[in-house]
Amino acid sequence: MIPCTPQRGFTLLELMISITVVTVITASVSGTWGAIVERHTRYAVQSTLSQTFASARSSAVKFAEITTICPLDAAMECSRDWDRPLTVFLDPMNERGLTSDTKILRIFEIPEDGSIKASKSGPMERRYFQYNPNGTARGTLGNLVWCPNSHNSSSAIQLRMNFGGRITWARDSNQDGIKEDAQGQPLSCP
């Protein structure tokens, strides 16, 4: 008689339970992972915008010339597409675009996992921000709102530039998880 060796492997029930457990763990981790990535992107955008405006303001004072921040279009003029790289350049003739005499100071890449919208300047979205040679804001004030690709308003951020040329960030003053704009209205990500 041949001795009986025990069978190795999973029963169908054990296999189904294992697959279910792996599925549940994967689903919970992927939701958490998405939130971690979104939070990291928000911090990266906020840091990049802070660096952009600080660089422009200090350059305006250092070179004693009008300094412009804007996304450039194909014609090298300031555009309304704030998801393009942001260019900081000396703009002594206030042309709001690059010319043969323009000195580009820095170009900042914005992370792609979201979208930036600028406040209105008249009936249209603003195309640029500028600093005077003394570091104060030139022209009308404005703001930029970044929203993640998920359109989750609780992850939105808003940069505001005041007359003194300083930037501030929207805060969640009522502790509901969504930051408010300068008028106290919650930021929205349509």
Task: Summarize pLDDT for 28-61 with one digit per residue, the tens.
Answer: 666 677 788 888 889 999 999 999 999 999 999 9
For residue 113, which of 158, 137, 73, 83 has the smallest C-alpha distance?
83
pLDDT at 16: 80
pLDDT at 20: 85
Q: Name the stretches of the chain with pLDDT < 50.
A: none
Give the type of residue at 15.
L
pLDDT at 171: 94
